[in-house]
Structure 1
Amino acid sequence: MLTAERHQLILSLLADKQTIRLQEIIDHTNASESTIRRDLDTLEKKGKLNRVHGGASAATLTKEEATMSEKSEKFHAEKEAIASFAARFIKGKETIFLDAGSTTNLMIPHLDPSITVVTNGPEHLPMLAERGITTYLIGGFVKPGTRAVIGANAVENLRQYRFDRCFVGVNGITEEDGLTTPDPEEAAIKKNVLAQSLSRYILADHSKFGTRTFTKFGDPEDAILITDASTPTAEKLKSKTEIEVAHP
């Protein structure tokens, strides 16, 4: 099969299934694994698809976002590993920003009660209170679905704070488009938090690498990336930033 024919077949499979595993492509094309990996690299550079762990996904620009409940159920073990690993960076009595999200929520059982937390995640409050952690919730509009606090009031409220460390979620990471999230107002929160923190951490399970969404809020080199598995995109980014892998 000619290279152009393989590329067309791969894109046709993605059009039908949105996500396809490497072995499936090999079975359909009868090509070697190394050949298919080169094909996927080429197609990704052309913006035709996104490389993900073990295969590829269709290159769609996502503006929709899963609810907090949906996020909590997906890749739970991987997020647990990332969360417990991320908490090890925090020193006693520090002030941190804890982004709204399912992975950051899983950090809370691992936090030292001596720290101070500022957050835009109302979902975090019960556990933070149970642990006796001093907590500030920024004010603003509560976003349906993810329940994150966002908007102009939230950004203005946030500007008064400075953080030793921040722990921020992300919906997509690519070499070309950087750190992205579907909602421009939530992106504004994340961008300001990164600027106001001495040490910055992006928490991203492997599915976020090679994916891009609607709004950019930073570059990979702006923070340490904490993930659960190496991916083709993560390997490319190692020359630009520090990547920590927390195995489940």
Structure 2
Amino acid sequence: MPKIIENKIFEYIKKHKIVKSKDIEKIFQLTQSSSRRYLIKLESQGLINRTFGEIILNENKNFQDQKIENKIKTNLEVKNKIAQHASQLALGYKTIFVDSGSNCYYLIQFLDRNIELFTNSITNANLALDLGFQNVNILGGTLKQETKSIVNFNKNELEGINFPISFLGVNAIDEKGCLYTPEKREAKAKQDIMKRSLITVVLAEKEKFNTMSTFKFSDNDSKIVIVSNIKEKDLKKMKLVSNTQIVRIKE
């Protein structure tokens, strides 16, 4: 719960750029000491600056996606374990969509080389070719520089295509299991894929839980399975929406 409140406070500050300390206390119904603890923590992360009763967003901080080249070099052991476990859900499927992102990058090495692979990631497509995949398809649209992924799919790009199973990355997951990303175009692209998938598998490290980002992309009509190393005690605290389940792996 404290992490959820912290994220909501930060989203409020991010939206308004400059706010008063008293506003935080009033809006989030916090005591002065409680509000101060949250703000000190945000300041320690370099997200805000506090001065003379005002809280100022640190706009030099990059809140968007990191470059994919950097993300695939972090948390390698955990990402490989999540990817390997998630790949078991792909067994028997001949057509699979794999999203951009570092977790999905590691997933590719565990997939059958004979599948028809669709992706919106140049990085993941190159990896698949290097690994010997014979049928690799990149969906067309606008290329996002940081993630080297396609957003704003071209008109009619997905017409007539359905995916028995898709694998997506995520930036944040709230206490109900709803999924978030910091970029509007990326959220729309993920929604487009989910609407055309019978099952959506989301790969996420435990640090992404009980956090929020700017744009929610969950689809209430899709079956969603989240594969994660989330701790059992944290999983028990969640109140998942009906179409979502979590498969927990041990680190």
TM-score range (shorter-chain normalised) is 0.7 to 0.9
Inter-partner Cα distance in structure 2 for 1:199 and 1:210: 23
Q: Which runs of 5+ in 1 are unaligned?
A: 20-61
Give yes or no for contact 2:66–2:146 (8 Å, CA) kept in 1.
Answer: yes
Deviation for aligned residue 1:203? 0.9
Deviation for aligned residue 1:141? 1.4
Query: What amino acid does structure 2 have at the position aligned with 1:188?
Result: K
Runs of 4+ in structure 1 off by over 4 angstroms are 3-6, 219-222
For residues 28-47 of structure 1, the C-alpha deviation after alignment (integer angstroms, 9 at most, x for no partner) is xxxxxxxxxxxxxxxxxxxx
| 1:25-40 → structure 2 map (5 Å cutoff) | none
**TM-aligned CA distance change 1:18 to 1:63, over 3 Å:** closer
- Provide the secondary structure at the position in 1 that maps to 2:100: coil
Q: TM-score, normalised by structure 1?
A: 0.73
Aligned length: 203
Deviation for aligned residue 1:85? 0.5
- Provide the secondary structure at the position in 1 that maps to 2:89: coil
**TM-aligned CA distance change 1:218 to 1:204, over 3 Å:** same
For residues 2-26 of structure 1, the C-alpha deviation after alignment (integer angstroms, 9 at most, x for no partner) is x94762453243133239xxxxxxx
| 1:14-93 → structure 2 map (5 Å cutoff) | 14-18=41-45, 64-93=64-93
Inter-partner Cα distance in structure 1 for 2:112 and 2:104: 15
**Paired residue for 1:137?**
138
**TM-aligned CA distance change 1:121 to 1:229, over 3 Å:** same
Deviation for aligned residue 1:184? 0.9
For residues 169-201 of structure 1, the C-alpha deviation after alignment (integer angstroms, 9 at most, x for no partner) is 111111368211111111111001111111111
For residues 130-171 of structure 1, the C-alpha deviation after alignment (integer angstroms, 9 at most, x for no partner) is 323411111111111110011141x63123311110000111
Inter-partner Cα distance in structure 2 for 1:77 and 1:237: 28
Identity %: 25
Query: What amino acid does structure 2 have at the position aligned with 1:14?
Result: K
Inter-partner Cα distance in structure 2 for 1:216 and 1:226: 18
Inter-partner Cα distance in structure 2 for 1:185 and 1:225: 22
Give yes or no for contact 1:209–1:234 (8 Å, CA) kept in 2.
Answer: no
CA RMSD of aligned residues (A): 2.6
**TM-aligned CA distance change 1:180 to 1:238, over 3 Å:** closer
Inter-partner Cα distance in structure 2 for 1:239 and 1:204: 17
**Paired residue for 2:8?**
none
Query: What amino acid does structure 2 have at the position aligned with 1:143?
Result: K
Q: TM-score, normalised by structure 2?
A: 0.72
Query: What amino acid does structure 1 have at the position aligned with 2:224?
Result: A
- Provide the secondary structure at the position in 2 that maps to 1:107: helix
**Paired residue for 1:29?**
none
| 1:75-224 → structure 2 map (5 Å cutoff) | 75-129=75-129, 130-153=131-154, 156-175=156-175, 178-218=178-218, 222-224=223-225
Inter-partner Cα distance in structure 2 for 1:215 and 1:176: 15
Q: Which runs of 5+ in 2 are unaligned?
A: 1-29, 47-61
Give yes or no for contact 2:175–2:209 (8 Å, CA) kept in 1.
Answer: no
**Paired residue for 1:226?**
227
Inter-partner Cα distance in structure 1 for 2:43 and 2:133: 50
Query: What amino acid does structure 2 have at the position aligned with 1:151?
Result: N
- Provide the secondary structure at the position in 1 that maps to 2:226: strand
Inter-partner Cα distance in structure 2 for 1:138 and 1:151: 10
Inter-partner Cα distance in structure 1 for 2:36 and 2:81: 36
Inter-partner Cα distance in structure 2 for 1:219 and 1:175: 16
- Is 1:247 the counterpart of 2:246 in the alignment? no
Deviation for aligned residue 1:71? 1.5
**TM-aligned CA distance change 1:65 to 1:234, over 3 Å:** farther
- Answer 1 or 2: higher relative contact order, Cα 8 Å, separation at least 6: 1
**Paired residue for 2:3?**
none
- Provide the secondary structure at the position in 1 that maps to 2:250: coil
Inter-partner Cα distance in structure 2 for 1:199 and 1:160: 17
